Amino acid sequence: MAELTFRTGTMDAGKSTLALQTNHNHAARGRAGRLFTSHDRAGEAIVSSRLGLRADALEVSPDFDFWRFTVDALTQGARIDYLICDEAQFYTPEQIDQLAKVVDELQIDVFCFGILTDFRTRLFPGSARLVELADRTEVLQVEALCWCGKRATHNARTENGVMVTEGEVIVVGDVDDADAPAPAAVDDEVEVAYEVLCRQHHRRGLTAARARAVSLSPDPLPFA
């Protein structure tokens, strides 16, 4: 029986790497699939991994219809055994419903990969719908780490090196190197980056750069 599978984790947990590996494993066994993505950091219509792996994909816009795409392809004689859907947090709830219909009505496996919550610690609508509908939801076992060494559970957004908790939900950026200095703005341009943090340090807004600055300050630390 076909299944709708949702594999999730924080940024830097290897979701896109696993998406590409899943596609490779199925293709190596003679199965035919399609890759989809949305707002990948490497650009439009690309599934990319921080390990350097990448593959061409179909870009999912808000008006893309998975059911119509799949039915049209099958009607024209194409073979589709599975769909790989990366960055699924950016899909609309309606698109997740379409993927569930593809599984149930066409018996095509769908593998979704994405983040559960945004930088405000709120569920992405697409991810929330996947949790509601998926046959299986799996948290990736590769743990991203906060700068303090604890397991990272939250995605933080920084603007010019300062953590923010308000703004547009979808802003493309990559995970910052915690050992690198904060990016400098050019004129009025805002440098957006992301960092994974444990809940404690996300709640306190304590990024790696701020923690270093505090440790070098002669003033007392603002935490126990």
d(CA 35, CA 37): 7
CB burial readout 142-151, b (16+ within 10 A) else e: ebbebbeeee
Q: Which of 121, 112, 175, 114 is nearest to 153 (CA)?
A: 121
Q: Which of 32, 35, 38 is nearest to 18 (CA)?
A: 35
E strand or H helix at 122, and its extent? none
The question of whether 87 is a catalytic residue gets the answer: yes
Q: Write out the two tokens for 8.
A: 């999730």
Give the amino acid at 119.
F
What secondary structure letter does DSSP report for 196? E
Q: Which of 50, 39, 43 is nearest to 15 (CA)?
A: 50
Active-site choice (3, 44, 59, 87): 87
Q: CA distances (Å), 216 to each of 21, 64, 124, 212, 224, in order? A: 43, 50, 37, 6, 16
Please list the active-site residues.
Answer: 87
